[in-house]
Amino acid sequence: MHKIAHATLHPLHSLNLLSQAEITALTSTRPDLYKLFRDCALAILNTDSDKDDAEQIFADYEDFHIELVPQPRGLKLEVYNAPRQSFVDGVMIRGIQDHLFAALRDIVYTDYKILGGGRRVPRTSEALTDNVFRILRNAGVVRPDVPPNTVVCWGGHAIPREEYDYAKSVGYELGLRGLDIVTGCGIGAMKGPMKGAAVGHAKQQIRDGRYIGISEPGIITSESPNAIVNKLVIMPDIEKRLEAFVRLAHGVVIFPGGVGTVEEVFYLLSILVHPDNQRAIPVIFAGPESSRTYFTALDRFLRLCLGDDVSSHYQIVIGAPDVIGRRLRAAVDMIHATRRESQDAYYFNWKLHIDEMLQHPFVPTHSNMAALNLDPSLPRHELAAQLRAAFSGIVAGNVKAFGIRQVAEHGPYKLHGDPRLMSAIDDLLRILVREKRMKFGQGEGVYQPCYELV
């Protein structure tokens, strides 16, 4: 394993000034805050790794250490035993160095300004949305001088080359049309659109293209930020991360992925099918010809869970990246005109209704997973929210350190529900396993389920 024994880092441009109290907290009085930053820093430095097991990554770099050194003009970081792939000729890649200080900025801001040093947790829906906005504003992501042009791209981080190249082609078509990219900031279907858009922007001589990556501490280790990201934001939890995506989105493209992508789909559909939201966000499921069976299965599953008319909230496009570019450019132009006429904000969709059940963190303990109400008689938006939580738990059991420990200690999560719905979930998960879209164990390459359907 290749490591860099020591490096000294100074902020480039992503770190707001820290007070002495904030620096002291990180270095001495708040070990929990320091550990959070240390773990996120390791994930960032582990960029482009093909490993997605958080526990294994932490074990491999058990001797990784990062120190915050106060100075009269701010602070510097001393890094020890860092992953070598973040360096070129012994010097850290500038984009990754910027990501480190962006993580520090967001962790400190969230703790002091949003949570009041860990003393308070906002509970109302309005307060939670306001906090999402404030974190994005502090990171320089929401800007009043930018017209609607952000396309959120979701999809798997472990995908075959053909799907990666396709995602890059779609990003290229979006970039040619002046659209910026927002993703979960990892590799695969998150890196591909950014890479393609960067070429499209360059051809159009767009020098201020934005490649926004939004992560959170629970997932960042298994989806380390790629170095194309020029605006990295670390949200405090998965729910605020998902809300940030949909509040920023002027369009959404969903590429093939695993259970994490299915979780995102249910989160989005819970919002789109809610009676208080009308055609809020244009959504396209997109993939090459080789992924046709994937989207056929996903479409069938969504119809079975939420009714046939759920398909009116998305389009499926196989191939034809240029078609996706034209459709999203037209949709974004329509959003621009509508929001200008109604005097709504271009940069943040305040009017979108998001239920509190989607905003409060879902902790995937065995009792919480077993208590999910997977009942088809629920209102569609509530069932979609319950299904989102179920898939969130499976994601945790697959790749998040907390979930992996839970499953190791107590066995697989148990999901209870309507037999027909359980059968449909099982069918979809088997397809994801067969197509190797789930994390596989070592050695024989056999999938080790973190769940049981009861």
Distance, in Å, from the CA atom of 144 to the CA atom of 141, rounded to the nearest integer, reads 10
Tens-level pLDDT at each residue, the chain (454 residues)? 688 889 998 887 655 566 777 777 777 778 888 899 999 999 999 887 666 667 778 888 889 999 888 776 667 899 999 999 899 998 999 999 999 999 998 998 888 787 776 556 667 899 999 999 999 999 999 988 788 999 999 999 889 999 999 999 999 999 999 999 999 999 999 999 999 999 999 999 999 999 999 999 988 887 889 989 999 999 999 999 999 999 999 999 999 999 999 999 999 999 999 999 987 799 999 999 999 999 999 999 999 999 999 999 999 999 999 999 999 999 999 999 998 888 889 999 999 999 999 999 999 999 999 999 999 999 999 999 999 999 999 988 887 878 888 898 999 999 998 999 999 998 998 899 888 887 655 444 567 788 888 8
Distance, in Å, from the CA atom of 119 to the CA atom of 123, rounded to the nearest integer, reads 13
Tell me the C-alpha to C-alpha distance, in Å, between residue 194 and each of 186, 235, 254, 454. 10, 20, 14, 40
| Token pair recorded at residue 367 | 């009792």
pTM check: above 0.95 = no
Domains of the chain: 3-120 (3.30.1850.10), 132-342 (3.40.50.450), 356-453 (no CATH)
Specify which residues 77 forms β-bridges with: 9, 68
| Chain position carrying tokens 């194309």 | 228
